[in-house]
Structure 1
Amino acid sequence: MTDPIPQPDAAFAALADPTRRALIDRLRAGPLPVGRLAADLPISRPAVSQHLRVLSDAGLLEVEPQGTRRLYRLAPDRLRELRAWLDGLWGDAMDSFAARAREIAQESPK
């Protein structure tokens, strides 16, 4: 049976870069054009555009053309998918922890 939640490899690879995480953090407050996103970053505006492209290709951003500029925003559906995947991972880890704790409790002398 196929997992209904897409594997997050591309998203995590995109998020591995600190500049891309900084861009994601800036977009948490709402959509922004590349000029606002690039403000105060220690890289050029074209480099910011390349990072935005990687994030968009990973499905983490939505791009909305507005005249001569583009607005970038977080892609809520993809972020929900990532959250569900992480929640599943966390749930599995906690279940394993609980099972091991029960084993240890049963092995301990009373």
Structure 2
Amino acid sequence: MSAGFYAWLGGAMVVFLAASSLLRASLGKPGWLLIACALALYTLGNLMMLRLMRESGMAVAISISAVLQLLLANAVAFVWFGERPAPMQMAGIALGVAAVALIVLPRTSP
């Protein structure tokens, strides 16, 4: 995976987190504007994922994206929305970190 892959992945994560944050913020404010903006951002994020899938394959790109979204969404929920995961949930998040580490480690030849 190249530096461009990681840069593009970072951009996609920013887009997905903005979409998630807009949806969370829309819970307290009725109306369609925030939901429509979130939908547009999710669409953009998924279009960005196409390049990542082309470079690393669907399984790797989606796995890394899903786990990073898990981690970063929890950070956003903690900092901006005051949510606190339970200890068992924190253990699951830690397993997500281990999963990403195993996915991005370079392959070794036997």
Query: Do the two structures share a fold, i.e. TM-score over 0.5?
Result: no
- Larger Rg computed on CA atoms: 1
TM-score by length of 2: 0.33
Greater fraction helix: 2
Greater fraction strand: 1
TM-score by length of 1: 0.33
